Amino acid sequence: MSALLEVTDLHAGYGAGEVLHGIALNVQQSGVTALLGANGAGKTTTLRAICGMLARSGVIRLEGERIDAMTTEDIARRGIAHVPDGRGTFLDLTVGENLRLGAYVRRDRSVASDLAHMLDLFPVLRERLRQQAGTLSGGEQQMLAIARALLSRPRLLLLDEPSFGLAPLIVQQLFAILSRVRTESGIGILLVEQNASLALDFADHACILEAGRIALVGAAATIGADEQVRRVYLGY
């Protein structure tokens, strides 16, 4: 099966400081790749580089098409949705307004039905449609951010620390919904997650970043079962 996302020799950073030093990774069609590593390893920078949010060099392909010279807006139109750390919610807008912004790149006539489906997946959002997003709980804001991203009908979803600061029950609900979405839509997911055990249980493949370089790549189950790898790289 051909890869949905292929990243080769990716270098990126901020100003004169290079953070990523030629990394390579991929996400398979309908697959989940977990990107793991310590704080400062370059995980968030990788997601931002893929989206064209900072200067980078290397080759990035989405379903075989090079996107590394495209703008962030064009990359979004090609089918990559990014849920950043901190959720990126428009706090002054209502829940409904935030959701409608998720479909701004679309020109088809299925937005209304897709919105209804999102409200079925996240019923708490249906109850909060007219509520200001800034008044939502952390878990509700994360649900809103993911629903908004899915309304763009992406082929690839980039998730940056979706469990951060959330209660275990909310995290369980979120990942159950993501599993359902993956099964129903065939979407691919590149997941950055500090909870390595959770990420490895959810993912098919995993890449471990260390100081901006790929230290280890393999099946998520294999990495999760290796006690030495867990102890050296993942801290559990």
- The confidence score (pLDDT) of residue 232 equals 83
β 3-14/56-62 pair status: antiparallel
- The confidence score (pLDDT) of residue 54 equals 95
- The confidence score (pLDDT) of residue 1 equals 59
Tokens of 180: 């359902």
Is the pTM for the entire model greater than 0.85? yes
The closest alpha carbon to 132, from 167, 101, 163, 89, belongs to 89
Q: What is the pLDDT along the chain (236 residues), one digit of tens a residue?
A: 579 999 999 999 998 899 999 999 999 999 999 999 999 999 999 999 999 999 999 999 999 999 999 999 999 999 999 999 987 889 999 999 999 999 887 778 899 999 999 999 999 999 999 999 999 999 999 999 999 999 999 999 999 999 999 999 999 999 999 999 999 999 999 999 999 999 999 999 999 999 999 999 999 999 999 999 888 888 77
For residues 53 and 13, the answer to whether their CB atoms sit within 8 Å is: no
Q: CA-based angle 20:22:24, to the nearest 5?
A: 105
> What residue has token string 């088809």?
108
For residues 114 and 163, the answer to whether their CB atoms sit within 8 Å is: no
Q: Which domain holds residue 111?
A: 3-234
Residue 88's CATH number: 3.40.50.300
Q: How many domains does the chain have?
A: 1
Q: CA-based angle 189:169:90, to the nearest 5?
A: 60
DSSP state of 93: S
As a whole number of angstroms, the distance between CA 173 and CA 151 comes to 19
Q: Which helix (H) or strand (E) holds 59?
A: strand 56-62
Burial of 118 (0-12, 13-18, 19+ CB in 10 A): buried
